[in-house]
Structures are given as structure tokens and as C-alpha cells.
Structure 1
Amino acid sequence: MSDKQNDGYWLKSGILNILQNFSGVFFGFGGFYMLVRVLSKDDFGVWTLFMSVTTIAEAIRSGLIQNALVKYLSSAEESEHPAIITASSVISIIITLICIGLIFVFAPYLSTLWSSPQLMGLLYTYMLVYILSGILTQFNAIEQANLQFQGIFITNFIRQFIFFAVVLWSYVFEHSLTLITLVWVQALAALIGVMVAYGFVRTYFRFVRNLSKAWLQKLFGYGKYAFGTAVSSLLSGTVDQMMLGAMLSPAASGAFNIAVRITNLIDIPGNAIAVVVFPQSSRRMETEGKSGIKYLYEKSVGTTLALVLPGVIFLFLFSDFVIHFIAGEKYADTIPLLQVTLLYCLLIPYGRQFGTILDSIGKTRTTFLVVLGTTIVNLGLNYVLISKIGVMGAAYATLISNILGFAVAQIILKREIGVSLWATLRFMWQFYPEFYVKYIKGRIAR
């Protein structure tokens, strides 16, 4: 890939992924803004718990399938692609059936644990959504592996827009909205997304008649640790809300979820850059070795920090205004939660790129063990601190566990590829003058 083509790839794919994340946050945040007003505090808490469970279910399958499929499709010969896609699809079907079985068995228990009778019906209806989203995940991973992102952006936009439009209609016309209706809307949006996504991947989506055991073992061998990492990471991010729901109330979980949703606003650049970096890092490992990976990590983390820092400062200084504007007076208790959660937002770029880089060089087991350790620490701290100081304990527990995870990750990256923490900070400060010279001063001069 020439320098010009390489710049075009990063610019085009980066813009598409940032647009995707912005649209996702816009629709998700807009929907959330209206949901906290349309739903009662208890219903919003139940919806938060439902989304926590379903997000983990999606991560189980995505972790086993997506990264492995992207890694091997992006680096293998084109003649091997049909065999890889066939093996990956078989794994996806098996995992989908297992997860549906688990949802069927555990839905009544979770409904009782969180004192939410309607949760069981929501989870049973969600099974249809899960089947459709599995097909969509497969399509999106194939497109990403081929360094294409248009279909991913469009299908995600459609799914988010449909859900947003229904909530907007309910909010504007003051029509009551049940939680089960929201799940059926998710199913409709997923079905339309699948049909649209197929149009973008049909030229790549090819099967072979004979299932390759070698590719089956290779994909599962790689994916099992990526799966563990994804699930552990999500548990680390949602265990606080789950434990608040079990130890205090669904309403407490909903209040904490508001702080998390606001901090997700400033995580857009990190999500976008991670999606672009992963297939590139897999290729760089093959062509440039660890020196290329080291630069990629330091540059991507520094750039992400430069984009995140202004948002963190703004939200911290105006957290009371932001909470009152977004969620209303009844969620004033979320203000101190937001201020604490903002502190560990500065560590998220390090953690996300740590996983991306180590996965791309085949160190998925190391990533899994670090994330698992962080999750266990987070779980223990949440139990102790929530018991002692209530809702704020969840925020402090997550902050402490993120700091510990950050320290361990930096030690491992230093040993594996020689990364420098100071280099990431240097790239962060260099971003601002470089951005001014290339994109502002240059345009003015033209």
C-alpha cells in the first residue's frame, strides 16, 4: 500500500468510524434523553439491567468470532477466505444456540434476583434479536477484514435510527411505551440491518462444502481468549450496575448508568481508532514486526488522548449543568458519580489499544488474563465499597480497578514491544499543533 493509499485508508476509514460512533452516541444518547423522561425510574432501571445482560450475551459471541475472523481474513491468502468464513459461521451458529439456551434457563433467576418480573419476558423476546444480530456481526466482521467500513456504518445507522424514531414518537406524542415494545423494535431494526448488510458483503461471503477442521481449531483457539477478554471487559464495565441492582435497587443501577452513558460521549474517538487499528496492526506485524506495532500503539493512544482530554475537562467542570440538562432534577444524585467516572476515562485509551495490539500479535491469552484479573478486582471492590458507602462505592471501585489494570498493562507492553508511556503523552501534545498546521492553517492558506 503506497503512502497516498495508506493516508487515504486512514482518513476514509477513520472518518467513517468516527461518524458511526457519533451517530451511535447521538441516537443512543437522544433515545436515552427521552427514555429517562418517558419511563419511570424503576422501568429505566430494569431497562438498564436488561441492556447489561444482552450486551454481555452479544460480547460472548462477538469475542469468539469477530476478532479471529478479522485477523485471519485480513492476513490470509484470498483463496483461503471461503474456508475461514465457513468455519467462523459454524462457530457462530453453535455459540448462538448455546447462549439462547442460557438465556432461557437463567432469565427467571435474574428476574427474581433483581426483583423485576417483566425482565423474564424481555429476555425471552430478545432471543429473536440475538439470532439476527449474530448474522449481522458476521457480515460486519467480513467487511472490516476487507478494510471496508461503509456497510458497517450504514447498517448501524439504520438500526439506531429506527429505535430512536420510535422513542422520539413516544416522547413527542406522550404515548406510553412498554419495555417489551422496545425489544420488538430492536428485532425489526436488526432484521432490516441484516438485509442491508448482505448487499455490502455478498461478493466476499463465500462458503466451501467441506468444513476445514484446521481453520475451525485455529479460529476457536484464537477466539477463546478474545472471547474471555471481551466478556471480562464487559463484566468489568457492567458489574457495578448489576451489583447496584441486586444490592440496592434497579433505580440505583439506572442512576449509575446515566453517568456511564455521558462518559461514553468522550469515548467515541477511542472506539473509532480501535476499529481502524486492529486490521492494520495485524498486517504491520507481518511486514514490520514489533517496531511498527510499537509506533502504532503510541501514536493511536496519543491521538485518542488528545481528542478525549477536552471533553473530560468540560464535563468535569460543568457536570451539574450536564446532568440537570440531560436527565433532569430527579437524577441530581448522579453528579458526583459522573465526576469520578470521568477520571478513569483518561485510562480507557491505554486499555483499549493494549487489547487491540496484543490481540493482533497473537497474545490473546495475556490480554484475557489481564482483563480477567481487573474484573475480579472490580467485583470484589464493588461488593465491599457498595456495602460500605452505597452508590458512590461503585464509582470508586471501578476507578481503582482501572488504575491497577492500567499499571499492569503498561508493564506488559514495555516488556513485549518496548512502548513508552512518555511517548504517548508526547504524541498527545504534538497532535494539537499538527492538527492546526495540516487541517486549519493549510485550509486557510488555500
Structure 2
Amino acid sequence: MRIPSIPGFEKQALEKYFKNTGMAFVGKVGSLVITMLVNIQIANYLHLKLFGILNGAITYVYFFQAITSLGLDQYVVKELHQHPENRDTILGTSFRLKLCAGLLALPLIFLAYQAYPAKSTPYLFVLILSFTGIIQSFNIIDPYFQSQVQSKYIMQVQVTSYLVSAVIKLLLIYVYHASIIWFVYAFLLDWVLLSIGYIITYQRKGRSLRQWQYNGHLARKLVSYSWPLIISGVMVSVYMRIDQIMLQNMRNASEAGAYATVVRFSEAWYFIPSVIVSTLFPAILNARRDDVARYKRRLQNLYDLMVYISLPAAIVISFAAPLIYKLFKPEYAYAAPVLAVHIWSGVFVFLGVASGQQLIAEDYVRLSFIRTGFGAIVNIAFNLLLIPKMGIMGTAVATLIAYASSTFFIIFIPKLSKQGVMMFKSLFLISLFQKIIKR
């Protein structure tokens, strides 16, 4: 893989990173393409209302994934790097913690549904999908392969499981003409297939789940590290998904089904900024330690890069939205203008991911929580205001406002306002013009 030159960053560092993670990236892209194509077929088969009902159950369970995952993965990778001799204890303890969290999520989901159900979505659908929290406990094997710099196995498992899942869902559509309940089971099966793939691959590498052990001291250590990520993950879930449930409850399942197609397309590329930031941030942190001026330049370069990628993509998809919806049945066509608006949220997501990493580097984790919480409040408030007046378009506008507000919330905090100004310079291409003038 040829690595392009990025101003302010060492090509050697990029090559080293992509050598280790490029296969995982390919796996994620491949899985994404498969999933998107199959979801289009499901949306067309179920039509607006039933697709909205199905998506309501998927979205509801999504709220609790931060709890069931416990935010453990990155800490497990770190522990496996530092103490490879304790592999079975680290994996066994993490698995037990995730399993307990998945079991705890079952009554929590039930109570949440009783308090604020998704209109038209039966609780049975939510209950079936809520078992994903238990099944995904086995995905703790993923961090093990990351720690071993063996991302090709992650890619193989993901692509294979999604291919099998795609075949099953297409059979449900074109051979069995199945009812909606079977698609609920099919989405649960996605997690089963992924877990089975990880287990088989782990065993083929000469490892055994029977050797996993639980250690109470390590469990307390991992939870003490991960609880801020759990809270942050819950807020992010509300921040990014509450609009879909609110639309379904305040309007109807049909509009929720149309909006679900918008969200799937608009958010499909949100993994890219995380990959970029993970690639470049070690170099930024080194500059922070050695040279403050260089640190600021590299941070500005990172913000610029986020805009250089997200802005053209938003422009292209805005114009291409009507063509994209040619892939759907005509009843979905009215969602095309909504996609043209919602896609611009990605610009603020890209900048937000970059600045969020900067907040962590500067030890402002608490402010990161506050910023996400502020975005969630703004999202809920504007959805309450705009959904009754504008319907599905109101939801997209509310999301765009919320993402922008959350990203630039730091400009009102004196000690972080300079970072907000740097993002503004990138967003409005001021820093780009300054570079051109200097040349």
C-alpha cells in the first residue's frame, strides 16, 4: 500500500501504522459495503413501515451497547501488550465482565422500554436483540489479535461472517419471503456468526477458551479504567440515536424507516476519522512533549485534514443523494433531500473526533463528557421543536445543529477556546488560504 504524503506528519510512522492495521481497515470497509447493499434489499422488501419497526428495535438496543461493551477493548490491548504472559487471565477476566454486563443490560432494557417504548415496535423484537450484549462477550478475542498485530484475522472473521449473514438475509427475502420477525433473528445472528468466527480463529491459533481465568483484582482495575468510557459511550449513544426513536414516537414508523436509510448512508463513513486520528496522534503527542509550536502546527494540520476529507464528501453526496435513492423503491425517494442535509453532520463529526482526542491528551476528559452531554441535550431540544413542524427533515436539521454545537462547545471554555478557533480556521479554509499565501 502506497502511503500519501501528509503535511506535518512522518511518512515512516504512517507506513508502520498502516502495515499493522491496514487489513483491519480493509475488513471494515468490506463489511460495510456488504451490509449497505443487503440493507437496501431489506428496506425495499419490508417497505417503509416495517423497516421503521425493525430499525426501532435495533436502535433501542444500540443505546445499551456502551454498557455491554464496558469500553474495555483498548485497555485489554494495553494490558496484553504490557503483560503477554497473563493472556488467559486478562481475556478470562474481561470476558466475565462483559458477560455480566450483558446480563445486566436485559432488565435495564426492559425498564427503559416500559418508560419510553418505541411506538409500533413490539417489545419481543427488542428482547430478542437485547441478547446481543451477551453474545458479544466473545468479541474480547478481537483485542487479543490487535495486541498481536494480527489484524488480518480480524478482517477474515468480519468479512466471512458478514458474507454468510448477507446470504441468509437474501435467502429470507428472495427464497422464503419471510416475515419481519425472521429479520430480527437474522440481525441477532450477525453477532452469533461474528463470535463463532472469533472463537474458531482463536482455537486454530493454538489457544483455548478453557484456559481463561478470572481475577478479581484485575477486574476492579479494568473497571476503574473503563468507567469513564462507559459513561461517555452512553452519552454518545443518546447523542447519536435518540433522534430516531423520537421521530418514530412523535410521527410514525414509516418516517422512521425512511430516516433510517438516511442515517445508514450518512454515518457509514464515521469510522474513518477514528482511523486517521489513531494513525496521526502519536506524532502529535510526541510534538507536544518536545516542541509546543510544532504541536500546535500538527494539530492544525489534523483539523485541516479532517475538513479536506469530509467537506468534499459532503458536497458530492449532497448532489448525489437523488441518484443514491434510485437504489430504493420510490416510496423512499422523499428521504433524498434529508440525506443531502444530514451528510453535513459528518464534517462536525470528523472535527469532533480529532478535538476529542486532543481533550484526552490535555487531560480534559471530563470536559469531553460535558461536551457530549451538551450535544445530546441540544439534539433532544431541537427534535422536540422541529419534528412536529418539519417531520423527517426536522430530525436531520436537529442532528446537524447538535453535532455542530457539540463540536464547537469548547470555544466557550477559556482554556480551550484556542482549539475552537483552530477548528473554525480549518472549517472555513482560512488555514488553507494562509498556507497558500505563505507559499
Say whether the fold is shared (TM-score over 0.5).
yes
Corresponding residue of 2:46: 39
Deviates more, 1:29-38 or 1:365-374: 365-374
Note the 1:3-82 alignment, pairs <5 A: 6-74=13-81, 76-78=82-84
Does the C-alpha gap of structure 1 residues 363 and 243 become closer, same or farther in structure 2, counting only changes over 3 Å?
same
Q: Residue 108 of structure 1 contacts residue 120 of structure 1 at CA under 8 Å; is this kept in 2?
A: no
- Equivalents in 1 of 2:14, 2:208: separation in Å? 27
Corresponding position of 1:443: none
Matched, 1:352 2:353: yes
Partner of 1:144: 146
Query: Over residues 107-160 of structure 1, what are the superposed CA-to-partner deviations in whole Å (9 max), with x where a residue is unaligned?
Result: 56665x5133xx322222224433221211x11233334444223222222332
What is the CA-CA distance between 1:82 and the residue it aligns to? 5.5
2:328 corresponds to which residue? 327
Residue 240 of structure 2: aligned partner: 237
Q: Indicate conservation of the 8 Å contact 2:61/2:130, yes or no.
A: no
1:303-314 map, 5 Å: 303-314=305-316
Change in Cα spacing, 1:114 to 1:427, as seen in structure 2 (3 Å) is same
Match for residue 437 of structure 1?
none
- Distance change (3 Å), C-alpha of 1:164 and 1:429: farther
1:25-61 CA distances to partner (integer Å, 9 max, x unpaired)?
A: 2122101210121103211001111111122222322
1:91 equivalenced with 2:91 (yes/no): no
Change (3 A) 1:180 1:358: farther
Change (3 A) 1:81 1:282: farther
Report which stretch shifted further, 303-312 or 30-39: 303-312
Letter in 2 for 1:124: L
Q: What are the within-5 Å matches in structure 2 for residues 86-165 of structure 1?
A: 86-107=92-113, 113-116=118-121, 119-136=122-139, 138-165=140-167
Structure 1 match to 2:340: 339
The aligned counterpart of 2:222 is 219
Distance 1:306 1:286 in 2: 23
Structure 1 pair 171/91, CA: closer, same or farther in 2 (3 Å)? closer
**Counterpart in the other structure of 1:399:** 400
CA distance in 2, matches of 1:255, 1:124: 24
The 1:330–1:180 alpha-carbon spacing in structure 2 relative to 1, beyond 3 Å, is same
C-alpha deviation, 1:271, in angstroms: 4.5
Distance in 1 (alpha carbons) for counterparts of 2:365 and 2:222: 12
Report how far residue 254 of structure 1 moved: 1.3
**Letter of the structure 2 residue corresponding to residue 211 of structure 1:** N
Aligned partners of 2:410 and 2:419 also within 8 Å: no
Q: State the 1:106 CA deviation.
A: 4.5
The answer on whether the counterparts of 1:270 and 1:349 sit within 8 Å (CA) in structure 2 is yes
Which range moved further: 364-373 or 249-258? 364-373
Distance verdict in 2 for CA 1:277–1:344, change over 3 Å: same
* 1:172-321 matches, cutoff 5 A: 172-173=174-175, 175-198=176-199, 199-200=201-202, 211-213=215-217, 215-274=218-277, 276=279, 280=282, 298-321=300-323
Percent identity between matched residues is 18
Q: Distance in 1 between matches of 2:177 and 2:251?
A: 27
Secondary structure (helix, strand or coil) at the match of 2:270 reads helix
Q: 1:333 and 1:62 mapped to 2: Cα distance? A: 36
Q: Cα–Cα, structure 1 residues 257 and 81, in superposed 2: closer, same or farther, change >3 Å?
A: same
Cα distance, 1:307 vs. partner? 3.2
* 120-129 or 235-244, larger mean C-alpha shift: 120-129
Name the CA distance, whole Å, in 1 between partners of 2:24 and 2:246. 33
Name the SS of the counterpart of 2:64 in structure 1: helix
SS at match of 2:378: helix
What's the secondary structure of 1:355's corresponding residue? helix
Query: What is the alpha-carbon distance in structure 2 between the residues aligned to residue 106 and residue 232 of structure 1?
Result: 15
Moved more, 238-247 or 329-338: 329-338
1:266: Cα distance to partner?
4.1
Question: How far apart in 1 are the matches of 2:84 and 2:65?
Answer: 28
Counterpart residue number, 2:379: 378
The question of whether the paired residues in 2 share the 8 Å contact of 1:63 and 1:231 is answered with: no
- What is the deviation of 1:268? 4.9
Normalised TM-score (structure 2): 0.81
Flag the 1:417–1:318 CA change in 2: closer, same or farther, 3 A.
closer
Q: CA deviation at 1:234?
A: 1.9
Equivalent residue for 2:5?
Answer: none
Amino acid at match of 1:120: Y
Tell me the equivalent position of 1:436. none
Report the Cα distance in structure 1 between the residues aligned to 2:299 and 2:155, rounded to whole angstroms: 24
Name structure 2 gaps, 5 residues minimum: 1-9, 435-439
| Contact 1:382–1:394 (Cα < 8 Å) also in 2 | yes
Per-residue CA shift, 1:276-312, capped at 9, x if unaligned?
Answer: 568x589969986988976775555444433333322
Range with bigger deviation, 43-52 or 288-297: 288-297
Code of the residue aligned with 2:69 in structure 1: it is: S
Unaligned runs of 5+ in 1: 431-446
